[in-house]
Amino acid sequence: MTRKVVLLGPQGPTPDVGALVRDLGIKGPVALVRAGYQERESDDEALVTALGVPAVNLTLHARGNDVFKHEAEFATAYQARQQRLRQMQGLYHTRLEGTEEAAKRISLRYVEPELLAQEEKVSVDQYRYMDLDHIERCQAVRAAFDKEWPYENVPLIAQHRHEVRELIGPTEALVITGGHVASLLNRLQLFDVLGAASDRPIIAWSAGAMVLTDRIVLFHDYPPYGSDIAQVLDAGFGLVPGYAVLPDARRRINLGAAAGIQRFARRMAPATCVAMDHGARMVFDDGELVYADATRLTTTGDAERNWTGEASRFSTPYLGGVHV
């Protein structure tokens, strides 16, 4: 059987996920993941009502807390891993800031357009190299941890994984919501939720959509604090490879900044950059896009609204030296 994955725009106060559940013919129950909301993950009454079918909350955040409380040696090692990943993220971001500042200063030089275009390509290649290097180093840290701490050898993790599989067993679909993307990614991995879900349809939005891609990209053109440089957080699960998913675009992306969109899309290429606002939808069968209604950010700097997914993702390729 093929695995269907549907990505939605943010749900907000007027969720449309219930209409999708009906479109897919899902009668329920469904398995619900709200780990990204951390301590608020059990506040699911409004969402269950919007789904319109019975739902079972997998309570992954609470399960993680239980593991960290009672498996002290594992918790210490896990926290050390997370601290290393946070430090790496900070150092990578510092390098991005240097490249961003240089790119801005070079863009203001009065030189021949051809030379300026060449310098722009150099800057984008630098971003791409740093993104790829960061992902590879994050994967190496995770792989080393998994080798030292096989999850099946940690009794409480094994117990919770068994319970999660039992809860998912009678369900018809898996629903993954938003929230804190790193927390969501880590809990889904810790309890092997996607493995337990097998070939069930997956419905996800916001952070839930981001973790299903092959690269989780953090972005915000109007951050309340800090820098606005987009950065790769980590590798995702890769169920929808070849796409950079950007939720809540109206609040987070300056869609009128053609130069910024062009640079970002070229940096992410050959992945297709897709802005997902409320009402957006992308449908995949075994990783292949079969339907879309969203906004595509192109390597020419355009925001292609009402994009249907029909244009080839390679129609405007970036001919750089680093392939991600």
Q: Among the ranges 99-113, 116-130, 215-229, 271-285, which has the highest mean pLDDT value?
A: 271-285
Q: Is residue 320 part of a domain?
A: no
Question: What does the pLDDT read at residue 302?
Answer: 93
The H-assigned helical ranges of the chain are 17-23, 45-51, 60-70, 72-107, 113-148, 155-168, 181-190, 193-197, 207-210, 249-252, 258-268
Q: What is the total count of domains within the chain?
A: 1
Reported pTM:
0.91
Q: Is residue 288 part of a domain?
A: yes
Q: What is the pLDDT of residues 191-205, one digit of tens each?
A: 999 999 999 999 999
Q: What is the pLDDT of residues 202-248, one digit of tens each?
A: 999 999 999 999 999 999 888 777 668 899 999 999 999 999 999 99
Q: What is the pLDDT of residues 135-174, one digit of tens each?
A: 999 999 999 999 999 998 999 999 999 999 999 999 999 9
Mean pLDDT calculated for residue range 2-25: 92
The parent domain of residue 43 ranges over 4-307
Q: What is the pLDDT of residues 45-65, one digit of tens each?
A: 999 999 999 999 999 999 999
What CATH number is associated with residue 220?
Answer: 3.40.50.880
Q: Is residue 312 part of a domain?
A: no
Q: Is residue 319 part of a domain?
A: no
Q: Is residue 322 part of a domain?
A: no
Provide the 10 A C-beta neighbour count for residue 281.
18
Q: Is residue 119 part of a domain?
A: yes
CA distances from 63 to 33, 187, 303 (A): 12, 9, 41
Q: Is residue 82 part of a domain?
A: yes
- CA-nearest of 198, 209, 200, 201 to 176 is 209
Mean pLDDT calculated for residue range 178-196: 97
